[in-house]
Amino acid sequence: MIQIDIEKCIGCKACEKDCPGRAIKVTDGKAQSVKKCILCGHCVAICPKNAVSIPDYDMADVEEYDPATFHLDPETYLRAVKFRRSIRNFTDEPIPRDKMERILNAGRYTATAMNLQDCRFILVQERLEEFRDLVWQEMPHVLEYLQYTDRNWHFMFSRFYDRYQKNPKNDTLLFNCTAFLLIASNDRLDGGLAAANIENMAVAEGAGALYSGYMMRMVGESMLLKEWLGIDDKQIACCMLLGYPDVTYKRTAPRRKADIIWK
């Protein structure tokens, strides 16, 4: 539940008007929580007197808005989106823990349907080599299954496996990333949205990412990998490879014309 500090509340109704679930009513000049809500935190964010808190959340993480120090320039933002590239070639340097925490925070603060916040961020960094070995050990079993269920993926994964067997450095699944991230969520869109912010934050930290549909399929077909990672009964929303890019792009990449319907 939300908590309202009655001493601080001035009964301005800002929280009542902004509450998406109509869970706050101002009576006798004081705001009151009148029913269970989704704990979206709008009341915390909008209160001019900082009178609202959510004891279940980390309130120390809440930041005050100051237009003098916070400004998102649209030109810079669009350029950041355009300059972002999928990274398939990484340096050996691992992303330090503090930076990785900030990168994952960009996922944690992303919108979720009904504010469910049920994304699980499974980050494999320290045990990456163990995981890499396990992935390739699983490949023959996955190939055996795909042979009967999905000929296209079987063909593609067979080629990947041949290349890896010739030289384990030819790893088309994990490349030479220094971290693997799997986002598990009951709502795959929530996980996908979190992934996009994580990728942008990784770029802001000087790192880079690759979304991996191949790893999604690989993990999805292997009970052993799912258990090792700790996905439980959630869905695999996104797999990403992370690390510092060992490549510099000189310019943005072109795109098709936008398919937009203006009405």
- Interface with ligand FMN (CB under 6 A): 85-86, 88, 210-214, 253
Q: Between 212 and 222, name the residue whose CB sits nearer to ligand FMN.
A: 212
The least distance separating ligand FMN from the CB of residue 134, rounded to whole angstroms, comes to 18
Q: Between 6 and 253, name the residue whose CB sits nearer to ligand FMN.
A: 253
Contacts 24+ apart (CB under 8 A), 33-42: 33/1, 33/2, 33/3, 33/4, 36/1, 37/1, 37/2, 38/114, 38/115, 39/2, 39/115, 40/115, 42/15, 42/18
CA nearest to 122, candidates 225, 230, 241, 235: 230
The least distance separating ligand FMN from the CB of residue 51, rounded to whole angstroms, comes to 42
Q: Between 24 and 238, name the residue whose CB sits nearer to ligand FMN.
A: 238
Q: Are 33 and 9 in contact (CB under 8 A)?
A: no
CA nearest to 191, candidates 113, 99, 101: 113
What's the token pair of residue 11? 């009964």
The least distance separating ligand FMN from the CB of residue 216, rounded to whole angstroms, comes to 7
The least distance separating ligand FMN from the CB of residue 25, rounded to whole angstroms, comes to 44
Q: Between 40 and 193, name the residue whose CB sits nearer to ligand FMN.
A: 193
- Measured N-to-C along each axis, helices 128-149 and 213-220 cross at an angle, to the nearest 10 degrees, of 80
Q: Between 60 and 258, name the residue whose CB sits nearer to ligand FMN.
A: 258
Q: Are 208 and 245 in contact (CB under 8 A)?
A: yes
Q: Are 20 and 38 in contact (CB under 8 A)?
A: yes
The least distance separating ligand FMN from the CB of residue 214, rounded to whole angstroms, comes to 4
